[in-house]
Amino acid sequence: MPTSPLSLRALALLSCLVTGLATGLLGLPAGALAADPVYPPGSRFGFEPAKEMVVSRRFTGFERQGGGATVSVVELPPQAYKDLTANFTDENLKSQGLVVKSRETLKLADGREGLLFTGEQPIEQPAGAPALHKWVFLVSDPTVTGIIIGQTLPAAESDEAMRTMLTSVRVRPALTLDQQVAALPFRITEAAGFRPVRVLGGNSVLYTDGPKDQMMNLEQPILVLAEAVQPAPPAEQRDAFAKAALYSNQTMKDFAIERSQSFRQNGADWHEIVARAVDVPSGTPVVVSQTIRFQPDGYFRAVGVVRAQDREAVLPRFRKVVDSVAF
């Protein structure tokens, strides 16, 4: 799907804001790439991880086992590279918290082009607290653009180790949709007539029922399944947590909750909401089904949206898919 320059800027700057930034110069000799890169599930970008870095379950990328260092990956369309390199100015990056120390255009050993920024991000802590060391590496490929963001506390990983990891990047061929679904941290064992359309971030998938992959005005029902590794709230806060998650969807308004309940199923705590709402872009009345499964190390969330007149036929199918999910 074409992406406008504005949306590319917004996504890139958002990525920087969320994970932190940096800029730097360096050369990469031919043959420096790792023989066996490690690819996060569903990602096209692989690396030779630094010694203490492992694939993250919280985001697409890697994190240090003892904490203090991360490398995250955002994948964008191939045409994004030109727009990003033009808009990643020192001033723009500084407005997102990255103080750029250096930048360098690199020719990788496989012929791909990259633009590496290194710098620091001050931490809002008592005076004298060390700044985060940051790297932002834009990687160009004919089929994909990568934004690779590294950050570390000074004592966690050395700058040399982080730089070596970032510049070991390899880009593999595009995965099929089936391969991306298979790489998710959960399995859907009953699709109930729905089909996958897109996998996002390596931890979420969009399903629909109908011939269109891009849906306007909710012509087709949609179901999004996602796993989060953020800590789950305590039992007494879960109803409020679930409602806040429902209301956070900016594409719908005028929510009217019909049912909100917690229950126990298959040894896990669940919460389910069924609500009426209005689709903002089209003004269409819809019904929303949100189901959350709370786990010791996070939670799983499923959100289904269907036109109000189709609720009786579709809501039971949403639930059938959710009940089939295996972890």
Q: For the chain, give the number of residues.
A: 327
Q: How far apart are CA 102 and CA 200, in angstroms?
A: 32
Strand partners, 268: 265
Determine the average pLDDT of the residues in 212-239.
Answer: 91
Tens digit of each residue's pLDDT (9 = 90 or more) over 7-44: 333 343 334 333 332 222 223 333 334 458 999 999 99
Q: What percent of the chain has pLDDT over 70?
A: 87
Mean per-residue pLDDT of the chain? 86
> How does strand 170-171 pair with strand 298-307?
unpaired
pLDDT at 108: 81
pLDDT at 124: 65
Tens digit of each residue's pLDDT (9 = 90 or more) over 131-153: 899 999 999 999 999 999 999 99
Q: Which of left, alpha, beta for 67 (phi over 0: left; psi -120 to 50: alpha)?
A: left
Burial 218-231 (b: 16+ CB within 10 A, else e): bebbbbbbbbbeee
Q: How far apart are CA 3 and CA 209, in angstroms?
A: 25
pLDDT at 4: 36
Is the pLDDT at 125 greater than 80? The verdict is no
Q: How far apart are CA 226 and CA 208, in angstroms?
A: 15
Tens digit of each residue's pLDDT (9 = 90 or more) over 188-198: 999 999 999 99
CB contact at 8 A, 273 and 252: no
Tens digit of each residue's pLDDT (9 = 90 or more) over 81-90: 999 999 999 9
Least confident piece of the model among 39-43, 46-50, 216-220, 271-275:
216-220
pLDDT at 128: 64
Q: Where are the beta strands (DSSP E) in 162-307?
A: 170-171, 187-188, 195-200, 204-208, 222-228, 252-265, 268-279, 285-295, 298-307
